[in-house]
Amino acid sequence: MRAFPLLLLVISVLVSPILGCELVAQGLSRVVIDPGHGGRDGGSRSASNSHNEKDLNLQIARELGALLAQRRGIEIIYTRTDDTYVSLTRRGQMANELNADLFISVHCNSMPKERFGSHRISGFEVFVLGDNGKDEHLKYIVERENREYGIAAETKGEMDMFEDLLNTITQEEYLQQSEMLQNEIFKQFAKKESPIKAKSKKQANFKVLRNAAMPAVLVEVGFLSNLHDEAVLTSEEGRSQVVYQLYKGVALYDDRLRVLNADNAFVSKGDSQVYRIQLSSYVSQKDHSIFRLGDLAGSLIELHEDGLYRYFYGSFNTREAAEYDLEYLKKNGYPDAFIRKMQ
């Protein structure tokens, strides 16, 4: 008799995805954490001259990996687990070969006093791949992090340049997700309890990001050239708070991914679909007049789902069509807005 309910359970587990009764929302499954530098490439030296960037990067990466590995279904892989040199190209290749779904490169920042006149520059920065723009500080950081040890820049052949271009285009496909993660992480450092202050979130042309064909970010957790940031990162308490904030950002990104993918799985079973921009969700119902849409015309749609009231704007045939309005809404009061596929 005991075998019978068990058999039923097995059958229902097998059948339910086909019937669409139970959808498994797909979040992160394989995350590659990349501790910057290593071996003969020490990275920057700390203000008190007692720490190398490469060692702190490894420590932070491992502590972040240990936290993330506790989440359901996430496997963590490191590009290095000890003090060895791995080329920038190889780091991304490893993540590609492993079919990872996220790449996080961990670094500590540094600004030499002789170049920028101060050791006071401090703070947390998170980057996605893009253009450096005209920022001199940024140009300096990117040049320093892109330096390949043992490979002279001028030996680059045309094939390499071509490969770089292709990789950049691939990474652009993931820009939306990379930025979603960038926002989640940045928000954690913008909280007042953060021991290192949120400084900026930008696009920059980091070589290590160019090679990863998946959503990818590079974090500069603090400035080793600044005594305060150095003290935070080298103390167990300060570092564990920084690591927890990184973890929290990734965990919230993972949650959002599950929601988005559950929507996609649900919609793929139906024939009519539409893209809407989710503005925000609340535990209580809101009057629609509280939502200011600025230059945009149209009404809101309200949906009561999982105990929350969610508010949506627009109706678009494709995700691309929704993106323009999404950009506008993000800049005008809805920084967390995102596109959802719906029926």
Residue ranges that bind Zn ion, judged by CB under 5 A: 36, 43, 107, 145
CB of 122 to Zn ion, least distance (A): 16
**Could you tell me if 40 and 54 are in contact, meaning their C-beta atoms sit under 8 angstroms apart?**
no
Task: Give 286's Cβ-side CA count (13 Å radius).
Answer: 19
At 335, give phi and psi (nearest 5°).
Answer: -60, -25
CB of 85 to Zn ion, least distance (A): 13
- Classify each residue of 297-326 as buried b or exposed e, where b means 16 or more C-beta atoms within 10 Å of its C-beta: eeebeeeeeeeeebbbbbebeeeeebeebb
Nearer to Zn ion by Cβ, of 107 and 276: the residue is 107
**Could you tell me if 39 and 85 are in contact, meaning their C-beta atoms sit under 8 angstroms apart?**
yes
CB of 102 to Zn ion, least distance (A): 19
The residue number with the shortest CB distance to Zn ion is 107
Nearer to Zn ion by Cβ, of 206 and 316: the residue is 206
Nearer to Zn ion by Cβ, of 43 and 222: the residue is 43
Nearer to Zn ion by Cβ, of 146 and 168: the residue is 146
84-87-93 Cα angle (round to 5): 115
Nearest-CA neighbor of 35 among 14, 5, 64, 8?
Answer: 64
CB of 129 to Zn ion, least distance (A): 16
CB of 37 to Zn ion, least distance (A): 6
Residue 199's DSSP bridge partners are none
Nearer to Zn ion by Cβ, of 217 and 257: the residue is 217
Q: Report helix, strand or coil for 126.
A: strand
Residue 217's DSSP bridge partners are 104
CB of 57 to Zn ion, least distance (A): 7
Spell out the alpha helix ranges (H) of 216-235.
227-234
CB of 300 to Zn ion, least distance (A): 45
Nearer to Zn ion by Cβ, of 108 and 329: the residue is 108
CB of 222 to Zn ion, least distance (A): 12
Nearer to Zn ion by Cβ, of 36 and 38: the residue is 36
In whole angstroms, how far apart are CA 172 and each of 140, 256, 262, 268, 317? 23, 20, 24, 25, 22
Dihedral of the alpha carbons of 217, 180, 315, 173, in degrees to the nearest 10: 10
d(CA 203, CA 224): 21
